[in-house]
Amino acid sequence: MKDHSMTRSTLKAINWNRIQDDKDLEVWNRLTANFWLPEKVPLSNDVPSWATLRPEEQTLTIRVFTGLTLLDTIQNTVGAPTLMPDAITPHEEAVLSNICFMEAVHARSYSSIFSTLCGMKEVDEAFRWSEDNPHLQQKAQIILEKYRAQDEPLKKKIASVFLESFLFYSGFYLPMYWSSRAKLTNTADLIRLIIRDEAVHGYYIGYKFQRGLELLSEEKRQELKDFAFALMFDLYEIETRYTEELYDGIGLTEDVKAFLHYNANKALQNLGYEALFPAQACEVNPAILAALSPDSENHDFFSGSGSSYVIGKAVATEDEDWNF
């Protein structure tokens, strides 16, 4: 509860009809409208498809998902709760509580995938692998270390945005890859729900970061920017090693790295910063982009694929037309 209620011993109830920051209500509405549970995805339809994967492909997939489970566990139990005391408005705290719970739903979803597709033995092995993998443990430790910095609210937000908008993507790549080859398509539908949530989380926490930044001196702002880019470099180093270890075996490492660069730039944009990786390093496999946003056909005019497009003429519309 905000507004120094503890010191004045007046406890304040949250009033959603008095909003200090419209973004809080906008994001609350979007997140609650997007609420979902893994039970709504017919994962069992993927059982025949799972059987077509080679044993090493199955192992890779389970490992990737345990890695993602670890990151979601951290966001649920430490990440979102640690941002709450820094909230500027009571509504921001409420939004963070939604984010916190959805991270638990994400972490829980991977276990639904496991129980549907895999044997207990392989899954137990993969969880042990996640505890022993030095790269996975290292990136988790670095983020936790930043979360523990009590007097640095904006550094915590940087760490959170990097986890939500960057660190997940070495893992998200694989279900998008399988989906592009018409494998595990229901699992990919579930992962897309997670990807959608993470986009809102990264956007919102990045937005709050920028609001906080506005109140600081130029010197402090520069320090935070240096901190953000240094942290991105450190995490990127670990991510490349993690990616190589996972994907070298099936020859996809370079493809995954392009996806990492593309997402690292988007994470920095969520914080209001410019891109780090040049365009040629971010040329993501079009099949992966199509798997990310299926049916979102790219027939726009300037991309050249819409050459037959007839220029429309504005037609008079009535105001009622806009009542969505």
Binding residues for Fe cation: 72, 103, 106, 164, 198, 201
Of 43-51, 66-74, 91-99, 200-208, which segment contacts other proteins by CB under 8 A?
Answer: 200-208
| Residues designated as active site | 110
The span from the CA of 24 to the CA of 176, in Å, is 31
Residues 9-28 that bind other proteins (CB under 8 A): 21-23, 26
Phi, psi of 273, rounded to the nearest 5 degrees: -95, 165
Does position 276 interact with other proteins (CB under 8 A)? The reply is no
CB of residue 5 vs other proteins: minimum separation in angstroms?
Answer: 26
Cβ partners under 8 Å of residue 48, min gap 6: none
Residues 26-85 that bind other proteins (CB under 8 A): 26, 29-30, 33-34, 36
CB of residue 87 vs other proteins: minimum separation in angstroms?
Answer: 17
Does position 324 interact with other proteins (CB under 8 A)? The reply is yes
Q: Which of 39, 302, 307, 308 binds other proteins (CB under 8 A)?
A: 302
**In 3D, which of 64, 277, 278 has the Cα closest to residue 178?**
64
Of 44-52, 140-148, 202-210, 234-242, which segment contacts other proteins by CB under 8 A?
Answer: 202-210
Binding site per annotation, positions: 72, 103, 106, 164, 198, 201
Q: Which of 9, 303, 307, 308 binds other proteins (CB under 8 A)?
A: 303
Which residue type sits at 139?
K
CA 137 vs CA 144, 235, 297: distances in Å: 10, 12, 39
70 versus 292: smaller Cβ distance to other proteins? 292
Does position 259 interact with other proteins (CB under 8 A)? The reply is no
**In 3D, which of 121, 86, 209 has the Cα closest to residue 159?**
209
Phi, psi of 43, rounded to the nearest 5 degrees: -60, -30
Residue 291 contacts residue 180 (beta carbons within 8 Å): yes
Q: Which of 19, 25, 199, 281 binds other proteins (CB under 8 A)?
A: 199
Sign, CA dihedral 253-255-259-264, equals positive
Q: Using CA atoms in the order 117, 120, 126, 129, what is the torsion angle rounded to 10 degrees?
A: 180
* Cα separation of the two ends of the chain: 35
Of 95-103, 106-114, 122-130, 285-293, which segment contacts other proteins by CB under 8 A?
Answer: 285-293
Q: Using CA atoms in the order 271, 275, 279, 282, what is the torsion angle rounded to 10 degrees?
A: -50
Chain residues that interact with other proteins, rule: CB under 8 A: 21-23, 26, 29-30, 33-34, 36, 192, 195-196, 198-199, 203, 206-207, 210-211, 265-266, 269-270, 272, 275, 279, 282, 289, 292-296, 298-303, 306, 309, 311-317, 319, 321-322, 324
